[in-house]
Amino acid sequence: MKVPYSYLPQQFADPEPVLAALRRTLLKHQQYTFGPELEEFEKKMAGYVGARHCLGTSSGTMSLSLLLKAAGVGHDDEVITVSQTFIATVGSIVSVGARPFFVDVLDDFTMDPSCLEDAVTDRTRAIMPVHYSGCPARMDEIRIIADKYELPVIEDACCAIGGRVGGKHVGRFGLGGAFSIHPLKNLNAWGDGGLVVTDSDEVRDRIGLLRNHGFSDGRDRVDVFGFNARLDTIQAVVADWLFPRIDEITDARIAHARRYDEAFGGPEFEGLITLPPRRADARHVYHMYMVLAENRDELLQFLQSRGIEAKVHYPIPVHLQKASLDQPVPFGRTDLSRTEAQCKSLITFPVHQHLDDEQIEYVIDSVGEFYRG
Amino acid sequence: MKVPYVDIGAQYARNSGILEVIAGVLERGQFILGPEVETFERHFADFCGCRFAVGVSSGTDALFLGLKALGIGPGDEVVTVPNTFLSTVAAIVTAGAVPVLVDVGDDYNLDPDLLAAAVGPRTKAIIPVHLTGRPARMKEIAEVAARHGIKILEDAAQAVDAAIDGVSTGALGDLGAFSLHPLKNLNVPGDGGVITLDDEKLRDRLLLLRNHGLKNRNESALFSFNSRLDTLKAAVADAMLKNVPEITSLRNRYAALYDEGFEDLSPFVTHPPRLPALREAFHTYVVQVERREELIEFLARRGVETKIHYPIPVHLMEASRDLGYRKGDFPVAEVQADRIVSLPVHQHLVPQQIEYVIESVRVFYR
């Protein structure tokens, strides 16, 4: 049996409705950047998240960079974040001239709020928690420290569309949140794309300028040099087409994850598979289903040999990447032993909405077979 | 008669194959990088006569990543012109370097006679802009660059398929930055760009820079950006590339009709001297005119859409306040900014529409 990690060929097995929508856009009017399709999609996403504003951007990474820019973070400033993340979190910080200060994570792979105070220096300008794998970070506790030191919180919610804490959508706990609609995300487009959500008019206005060359009034006047960081109109059309399915997609992923949890939490896997703690007050959207596994590398190989596309996100934490080690002045960090230990046993099982129950059982059986030897 | 300035709708109506190209990408289900991007890059490199091409997310990022690949950053200076789309200057600022501007000649492009005076010990690169699709005076620019050991990054955002003595834009400097924006001669349905070059080490660096610094899925050699050319767009660009020579020749034919039609209208209407060594690839057809605002209004009333590229030179924009320039610093560019107008020249027009524009301009000055 095959259990593929990517589902894109299935998701668009019948592309006709999207192509029809595209045909209308492509032929009817001549706008491939901005236009009513983008505005419509932005309005829907703002509504879904419950934020006052949503702006489309060219990627999740760019959404983070734009939020940092809007927060006034720049050269030699420090941003507290985690090393247990995709490289782009830190890439966005470095791209605005700032430096990350790494703190360790909890057993659920998200920022450990108890490390934050040790990481605050006189250069700290923002805190960037990551809702890694789709699991909301401890926003209430992070906010307490952020408020105490008057630091803006910028949420890396690139993996976490649909994620909530106590009914409040991620991306709404600070100055703004960044989402990705990369092809493999829970809500996706046909190429790179991102979103920024914020309640702040000022941030909305600033990012509105920065994403489009700084144009304020038509195309002749520019008050600030910006970037070209627009969400393509056609990508907005695609994402808008998928929009009504966000919760259906998320619920299917959650159902698969529950089944995995039930199985891997059982006595058969004790001491072999360690589940991250699950919180009743948070909606984890399972962009990735990640657990810790004994003999991870062999398990990975075994599963792959059985047609199961398991992955490791990621074997090397950001602070141990060459990009970090090459820094002439080392990045600040607290103790990161939990992050480092996790990276040695992290494994990601396929959890996407196009898998059926039989495929999930096959993964569970295969993991069992591996450990039974 | 209506003469629209742009008509992208017509392009997709006449190339319904584009949606089939998109459907083909859907079937394979890979939307990030992959064989379509590589194929387009190979074809585009061949088209320009370069060893390599690297697809990126926009023309702006092509310039920005080009500068980054050359190692340009804080403390460095980069020379370019004030009469360009502002992202030429923005790319330099984004890279952390200081833009040093020089005035232009009657071809709207960098005046090489002023170049040597602008080059100093901190100068790391020159960005000549091939504005309107006309190659800048690269031979003289290259001489100055060679003398000072500095690099040339061509801003060829408007100049796909142009050439000097048979050498294509993109192959005239160390690096060439192209835009695939919907309004460009070679376009995609969204933002896109591509960089051309011969240097393999620089190419490898660009591949890292555009994709988070990732050497492979798990290892990052440097912190960088997400600035990829979408697979879907690469597939469209590759399908469109074969139309470029025809697009260029139609646009050039319309430009020649204009030139001829305005021949006896000097000094009311003047165009840059046309040189036999140059192959221009008219992205815009820009003339200098007397009583510009009145002419624009007159043409608009007759259904002829015009534009101005660009009414405010970059050094006079609010964004440039920290660069220390003032009105009067670049007299040629400033005079041109008050006199230039862009007439419709795209490939979806028919010759009768061009004749109509010429006739309308003639009526205005009569």
List the structure tokens of A56: 């489309």
Query: B315 CB contacts (<8 Å, ≥6 apart)?
Result: B82, B101, B323, B325, B329, B330
Average pLDDT, chain B: 95
**Rounded CA gap, B100 and B97, in Å?**
10
Residue A323: phi, psi to the nearest 5? Answer: -55, -35
Residue B277 has pLDDT above 90, yes or no: yes
Least confident of B8-22, B59-73, B137-151, B335-349: B8-22
Is residue B33 within 8 angstroms of chain A, CB to CB?
Answer: no
A356: exposed, middle or buried (Cβ count in 10 Å: 0-12, 13-18, 19+): exposed
DSSP string over A194-243: EEEEES-HHHHHHHHHHTBTTEEETTTEESS---B-PPBHHHHHHHHHHG
Q: What is the pLDDT of residues B42-66, one digit of tens each?
A: 999 999 999 999 999 999 999 999 9
Mutation target to probe the A interface, by most A beta carbons within 10 A, among B11, B57, B155 is: B57
Interchain contact B93–A (C-beta under 8 A)? yes
**What is the maximum alpha-carbon separation in chain A?**
69
pLDDT of residue A223: 83
Long-range CB contacts (< 8 A, 24+ apart) of A113-122? A113/A138, A113/A141, A113/A142, A113/A144, A113/A145, A114/A141, A115/A334, A115/A335, A116/A80, A116/A142, A116/A145, A117/A145, A118/A334, A119/A80, A119/A332, A119/A334, A120/A80, A120/A145, A120/A149, A120/A151, A121/A78, A121/A332
User: Which of B223, B296, B307, B342 has the highest number of chain A CBs within 10 A, making it the mutation to test binding with A?
Assistant: B223
The SS3 of residue B244 is helix
Tell me the angle at which helices B351-365 and B292-301 cross, rounded to the nearest 10 degrees.
Answer: 130
Judged by DSSP in three states, A148 sits in: helix
Helix A357-372, helix A246-264: angle, nearest 10 = 30
> B125 to each of A362, B69, B227, B273, how far by Cα in Å?
58, 12, 22, 28
Tokens standing for A192?
Answer: 């790179």
Separation between Cα atoms, residue B239 and residue B36, nearest integer Å: 10
pLDDT digits (tens, 9 = 90+) for B218-273: 999 999 999 999 999 999 999 999 999 999 999 999 999 999 999 999 999 999 99
Q: Are A132 and A107 in contact (CB under 8 A)?
A: no
| Residues B17 and B11 sit within 8 Å (Cβ to Cβ) | no
CA distance A345 to A107: 12
What pLDDT is attached to residue A184?
92
pLDDT at B9 over 80: no
Per the CB < 8 A criterion, the answer to whether B82 and B330 are in contact is yes
**A positions 285-344 inside 8 Å of B (CB):** 312, 314-316, 318, 321-323, 326
More confident call, A12 vs B36: B36
A150 Cβ under 8 Å from any chain B Cβ: no
Report the percent of chain B where pLDDT is more than 90. 92
* B212 contact residues in A (CB cutoff 8 A): 61, 87-88, 91
Instruction: For residues A98 and A92, give the distance between their C-alpha atoms in angstroms, rounded to a whole number.
Output: 9
A373 exposure class (CB count in 10 Å sphere: 0-12, 13-18, 19+): exposed
Q: Do B25 and A190 touch (CB under 8 A)?
A: yes
Counts for chain B of helices (H) and strands (E), in that order: 13, 13
Selected residues 95-114 of chain A with any CB under 8 Å from a CB in chain B: 95, 97
Residues from chain A contacting residue B60 (CB–CB below 8 Å): 213, 227-228
Rounded mean pLDDT, B322-332: 97
| Band of residue B185 on the pLDDT scale cut at 50, 70, 90 | very high
Per-residue pLDDT at B12: 67
pTM score: 0.94
Preferred mutation among A58, A79, A219, A329 to probe B, highest tally of B CBs within 10 A: A58
pLDDT of residue A26: 67
> How many C-beta neighbours within 10 Å does residue B240 have?
21
| Shortest distance, CA B365 to any CA of chain A (angstroms) | 27
Q: Which sign, positive or negative, has the C-alpha torsion A326, A227, B201, B54? A: positive
Interface of A with B in 253-272 (CB under 8 A): none
Are B128 and B136 in contact by the 8 Å Cβ rule? The answer is: yes
- Judging contacts by C-beta atoms under 8 Å, the chain B residues touching residue A318 are 220
- Under DSSP, is residue A53 helix (H, G, I), strand (E, B) or coil? strand
Taking the C-alpha atoms of residue B5 and residue A84, their distance in angstroms, rounded to an integer, is 51
pLDDT in tens, chain A (373 residues): 899 888 877 877 777 888 888 777 766 666 788 889 999 999 999 999 999 999 999 999 999 999 999 999 999 999 999 999 999 999 999 999 999 999 999 999 999 999 999 999 999 999 999 999 999 999 999 999 999 999 999 999 999 999 999 999 999 999 999 999 999 999 999 999 999 999 999 999 999 999 999 987 666 778 888 999 999 999 999 999 999 999 999 999 999 999 999 999 999 999 999 999 999 999 999 999 999 999 999 999 999 999 999 999 999 999 999 999 999 999 999 999 999 999 999 999 999 999 999 999 999 999 999 999 8
CA atoms within 13 A on the CB side of A359: 20
Q: What pLDDT, on a 0 to 100 scale, did the predictor assign at position B29?
A: 83
Residue B147 CB coordination number (10 Å): 10
- Alpha-carbon radius of gyration of chain B: 20
Q: What is the C-alpha separation between B287 and A66, in angstroms, rounded?
A: 38
Average of per-residue pLDDT across B162-175? 98
Burial (CB count <10 Å: 0-12, 13-18, 19+), residue A141: middle
Which is nearest to B183 in space by CA: A219, A207, A21?
A: A219
User: Rounded to whole angstroms, how far apart are CA atoms A194 and B180?
Assistant: 20
Distance from CA of A199 to the nearest CA of B (A): 26
Residue B14 confidence class, pLDDT cut points 50, 70, 90: low
**Residues whose CB is less than 8 angstroms from the CB of residue B242 and which lie 6 or more positions away in sequence, other chains included:** none
User: Does any CB of chain A come closer than 8 Å to the CB of residue B57?
Assistant: yes
Percent of chain A with pLDDT over 70: 98
CA dihedral A282, A285, A288, A289 (to 10 degrees): 60
Cis peptide before A289 (omega within 30 of 0): no
Alpha-carbon distances of A52 from A152, A196, A211, rounded to whole Å: 18, 11, 18
| Nearest Cα to Cα of residue A226 among B89, B248, B225, B22 | B89
Does residue B85 have a pLDDT over 90?
yes
Q: Are B83 and B336 in contact (CB under 8 A)?
A: yes
Instruction: Name the β-bridge partners of B154.
Output: B176
Rounded to whole angstroms, how far apart are CA atoms B350 and B3? 10
How many Å apart are CA A148 and CA A146, to the nearest integer? 5
d(CA B18, CA B11): 10
Instruction: Let me know: does A370 contact A23? Beta carbons within 8 Å.
Output: no
Please give the distance of CA A119 from its chain centroid, rounded to a whole number: 23
Per the structure block, which two tokens stand in for B193? Answer: 């760009």
Contact list, A17 vs chain B (CB under 8 Å): none
List, in order, residues 6 or more apart from A186 with CB less than 8 Å away. Answer: A134, A161, A162, A246, A249, A250, A253, A285, A287
What is the 3-state composition of chain A as percent helix, strand, coil, each rounded to the nearest 5?
40, 20, 40
Q: What is the ipTM of this complex?
A: 0.91
CA distances from A236 to A31, A32, A137, A207 (A): 12, 10, 28, 18
What is the mean pLDDT of the segment spanning B9-28? Answer: 76
Roughly how many angstroms between the first and final C-alpha of chain A, as a whole number?
20
Residue B151: partners with Cβ closer than 8 Å, 6 or more residues away: B70, B124, B125, B126, B145, B173, B174, B175
Report the distance separating Cα B233 and Cα B133, nearest Å: 22
